């Protein structure tokens, strides 16, 4: 990957001027580095989704069913009838262009078909031809065109260059959400078996093993046990970790990515330490689950139905274990699904209780129906009530900025809770420029299932606006740590930072919480969870060196 990716100096040469040629006359060029590999037929088949076969996007022949045009037409019609959003968004765009330069993929690539409005026009052009009279009569000058194999390929290429981040929808005077159009478009593509493997295989894994990575229950337990050992080495405290425990107070669900790969693992360790602390001090019993070992939901990037199939596990597991309510870890699209879809799809949740923090007595009114609380809300409430003993100076070597992840921002609106937590656990916090945070936040460039290795150029260009803003605060304030509340971010941002702003590292919120958390009976800490010395607290004996080397080996 790295050897083929252009240098930053080359990638920053972006021409945002569209070509002279009419966009319908510019044929799609499926370019290496910009697309993800095709879905593995075994995964498609395991889920019982249509047209499982080996195929390659670069091939002329995509091995579509005979009547594929009819399938698309009927699928389009069905979705117009089922989703008002789709129908209205197809009809009311005035092409004012306000959304055009709001998309990080357009900013990063300059490819006009990455302007949200044009991405939507890719579908709208077919809609005009198939479903409106005006389109049929006037044809191309009115932006209509019939479906063809080239159009289909163009759909595929550009719908998998949209991270469903919704930034465009903030600026549209009618709230047209190109993410919604992408969601519909991807559903249509899936009717023909045109998924990417980075989505299809995690979905199949999740269906079978409970998580995207395909970690089986025993291995999942091993991984958590491993964190327990690490924590003991660093803090001297042996934390307990409930898995699949019936009758626990709360079920905890978080993306498996954090259990699997750095730097997410440190956030996972942070959760374990927090739960141990709450158990010791307040008797709160939290359990993890192996059947529900995935918070994320790549089904969301496949179809509404697949999303529902994967999401069903959360409530099913909560019911089986008999917990009171569910606590959700840090994740992006997971929270869009939980916040805007879960209750509707798989509710109502009468087998759970309305969530109340047993420690502070706070009722989480905003989650009283779907009964799932975000860990940043939960922890912000604990800190506000003085229930956590914290030493923020342990994070003094960090100059932190916060990346608002797209989905929790524009599909949930969780902005101030994580900020409150950050400011409680570390002393140096700097915001990026206002146009790049909160509801205006820029995507990591890898959302909606696009965080594969083979499309690295797409990820680096799409992540450019985010990286550029980080670079700004790095130069201005010496920021060296980029915090986020999303597991995909923790996988996607490190290579992005390494490429554009190599001086900045990536962390989760609860890694910083755990570093500041004073555990009952803990040793004086000389290193943070990464096993790196905390400046000013190094133990001079050799022992700590050996420890951190061991840590390094394990990674």
Choose the one of other proteins, ligand HEM, ligand SF4, none that binds residue 164, judging by a C-beta under 5 to 8 angstroms depending on kind.
ligand SF4
Radius of gyration of the chain (CA): 24
Q: Closer to ligand HEM at the Cβ: 173 or 536?
A: 173
Q: Which two tokens mark 206?
A: 């999740």
Distance, CA of 415 to chain centre: 16
Choose the one of ligand SF4, ligand HEM, other proteins, none that binds residue 141, judging by a C-beta under 5 to 8 angstroms depending on kind.
other proteins
Give, rounded to a whole angstrom, the gap between the first and last alpha carbons of the chain. 21
Q: Residue 375, class by beta-carbon neighbours within 10 Å (0-12 exposed, 13-18 middle, 19+ buried)?
A: buried
Q: What are the DSSP E strand ranges found in 212-264?
A: 242-243, 250-253
Q: How far is the CB of 182 from ligand SF4 (least distance, A)?
A: 6
The label of the residue with tokens 């198939």 reads: 130
# residues near ligand SF4 by CB under 6 A: 27
Closest CA to 528 of 241, 288, 273, 258: 273
Q: How far is the CB of 52 from other proteins (least distance, A)?
A: 11
Burial 438-451, CB ≥16 within 10 A → b, else e: bebbbbbbbbbbbb
Q: Is 92 in the site for ligand HEM (CB under 6 A)?
A: no
Q: Is 162 in the site for ligand SF4 (CB under 6 A)?
A: yes
Q: Is 267 in the site for other proteins (CB under 8 A)?
A: no
Q: How far is the CB of 334 from ligand SF4 (least distance, A)?
A: 17
Closest CA to 341 of 311, 365, 367: 311
Q: Is 534 in the site for other proteins (CB under 8 A)?
A: no
Q: Is 105 in the site for ligand SF4 (CB under 6 A)?
A: yes
Q: Closer to ligand SF4 at the Cβ: 116 or 299?
A: 116
| 330, 403 Cβ separation under 8 angstroms | no
Q: Is 49 in the site for ligand SF4 (CB under 6 A)?
A: no
Draw the binding track, 303-322, toward ligand HEM (x: CB under 6 A; -: no contact): --------------------
Choose the one of ligand HEM, ligand SF4, other proteins, none that binds residue 463, judging by a C-beta under 5 to 8 angstroms depending on kind.
none
Q: Is 95 in the site for ligand SF4 (CB under 6 A)?
A: yes
Draw the binding track, 171-190, toward ligand HEM (x: CB under 6 A; -: no contact): --x-----------------
Q: Closer to ligand SF4 at the Cβ: 254 or 441?
A: 441
Q: Is 523 in the site for other proteins (CB under 8 A)?
A: no
Closest CA to 485 of 347, 333, 285: 333
Q: Residue 491, class by beta-carbon neighbours within 10 Å (0-12 exposed, 13-18 middle, 19+ buried)?
A: buried
Residue 396 CB neighbours (<10 A)? 15
Q: Is 149 in the site for ligand HEM (CB under 6 A)?
A: no
| 430, 477 Cβ separation under 8 angstroms | yes
Secondary structure (3-state) at 174: coil
Q: Is 94 in the site for ligand HEM (CB under 6 A)?
A: yes
Q: How far is the CB of 525 from other proteins (least distance, A)?
A: 28
Choose the one of ligand HEM, other proteins, ligand SF4, none that binds residue 119, judging by a C-beta under 5 to 8 angstroms depending on kind.
ligand SF4
Angstrom CA distances, 488 to 120, 255, 416, 485, stand at 25, 9, 21, 9
Residues that bind ligand SF4 (CB under 6 A): 93-99, 102-103, 105, 116-117, 119, 162-168, 172-174, 176, 178-179, 182
**Chain positions contacting ligand HEM, by CB under 6 A:** 94, 96, 173
């Amino acid at each position: 990957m790295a050897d083929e990716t252009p240098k930053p100096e080359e990638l920053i040469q972006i021409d945002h001027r569209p070509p002279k040629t009419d966009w319908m006359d510019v044929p799609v060029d499926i370019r290496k580095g910009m697309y993800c590999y095709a879905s593995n037929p075994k995964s498609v088949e395991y889920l019982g989704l249509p047209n499982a076969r080996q195929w390659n996007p670069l091939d002329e022949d995509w091995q579509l069913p005979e009547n594929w045009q009819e399938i698309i037409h009927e699928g389009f019609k069905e979705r117009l009838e089922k989703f008002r959003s789709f129908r209205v968004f197809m009809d009311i765009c005035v092409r004012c262009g306000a959304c055009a330069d709001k998309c990080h993929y357009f900013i990063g690539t300059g490819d006009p078909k990455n302007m949200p409005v044009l991405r939507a026009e890719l579908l709208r052009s077919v809609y005009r031809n198939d479903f409106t009279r005006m389109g049929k009569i006037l044809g191309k000058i009115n932006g209509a065109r019939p479906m063809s194999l080239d159009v289909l390929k163009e759909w595929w290429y550009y719908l998998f260059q949209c991270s469903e981040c919704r930034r465009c929808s903030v600026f549209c005077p009618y709230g047209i959400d190109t993410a919604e159009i992408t969601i519909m478009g991807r559903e249509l593509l899936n009717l023909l078996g045109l998924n990417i493997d980075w989505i299809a295989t995690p979905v199949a894994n999740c269906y079978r093993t409970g998580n995207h990575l395909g970690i089986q229950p025993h291995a999942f337990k091993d991984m958590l046990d491993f964190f327990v050992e690490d924590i003991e080495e660093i803090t001297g405290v042996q934390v307990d970790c409930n898995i699949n425990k019936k009758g626990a107070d709360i079920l905890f669900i978080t993306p498996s990515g954090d259990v699997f790969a750095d730097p997410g693992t440190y956030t996972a360790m942070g959760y374990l330490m927090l739960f141990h602390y709450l158990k010791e001090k307040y008797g709160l019993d939290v359990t993890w689950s192996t059947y529900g070992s995935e918070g994320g939901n790549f089904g969301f990037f496949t179809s509404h139905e697949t999303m529902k199939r994967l999401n069903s596990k959360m409530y099913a597991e909560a019911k089986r274990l008999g917990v009171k309510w569910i606590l959700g870890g840090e994740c992006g699209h997971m929270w869009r699904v939980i916040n805007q879809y879960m209750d509707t799809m798989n509710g109502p949740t009468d087998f759970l209780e309305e969530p109340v923090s047993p420690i502070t007595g706070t009722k989480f009114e905003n989650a009283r129906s779907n009964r799932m609380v975000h860990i940043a809300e939960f922890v912000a409430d604990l800190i506000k009530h003085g229930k956590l003993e914290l030493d923020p100076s342990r994070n003094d070597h960090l100059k932190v900025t916060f990346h608002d992840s797209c989905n929790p921002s524009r599909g949930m609106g969780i902005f101030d809770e994580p900020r409150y937590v950050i400011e409680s656990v570390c002393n140096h916090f700097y915001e990026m420029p206002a146009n790049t945070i909160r509801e205006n936040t820029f995507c990591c460039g890898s959302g909606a299932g696009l965080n594969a290795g083979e499309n690295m150029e797409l990820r680096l260009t799409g992540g450019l606006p985010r990286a550029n803003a980080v670079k700004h605060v790095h130069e201005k304030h010496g920021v060296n740590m980029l915090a986020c509340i999303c597991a995909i971010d923790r996988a996607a941002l490190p290579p992005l930072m390494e490429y554009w702003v190599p001086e900045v590292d990536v962390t989760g919120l609860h890694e910083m919480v755990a570093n500041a958390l004073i555990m009952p009976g803990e040793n004086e800490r000389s290193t943070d969870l990464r096993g790196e010395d905390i400046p000013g607290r190094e133990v001079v004996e050799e022992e700590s060196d050996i420890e951190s080397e061991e840590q390094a080996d394990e990674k």
